[in-house]
Amino acid sequence: MELFLIQGLTLLLFTIGLYGVMTAKTGIKTLISIEILLNSALVNLVALGYRSSQPLVLALFVIAISVVESAVGLSIMLAVYRKFGRITIQSLREMRD
């Protein structure tokens, strides 16, 4: 597959993820959108690493960051749900204040 097509796919994924982060009203949708953003970066790194014959250490680094982000994000969402009974961005703002 052409590198141009793969980068077009990653741009599309990044745009979808960015739109999701900007418009999501619930925490779970925000987490899913952030995962889409990270996956687009991962696909781009793998494609560039495949073309340049370099090790894919950066791709493993992105996967590790993605796992940590999911664990921390889900634990925060669980704490918000226990306190407010719902998971919305508004309840996160209330928790901050």
Q: Is the pLDDT of residue 15 over 90?
A: yes
Domain boundaries, the chain: 3-96
> So what's the pLDDT on residue 55?
58
Question: Nearest CA to 93 among 20, 19, 30, 16?
Answer: 30
Higher pLDDT among residues 2 and 18, named by residue: 18
pLDDT, one tens digit per residue, over 32-58 is 898 899 889 888 888 887 767 665 677
Looking at 1.10.287.3510, 3.10.180.10, 3.30.365.10, 3.40.190.10, the CATH number of the domain 3-96 comes to: 1.10.287.3510
Q: Could you count the other beta carbons within 10 Å of the beta carbon of residue 31?
A: 21
pTM for the full model?
0.75
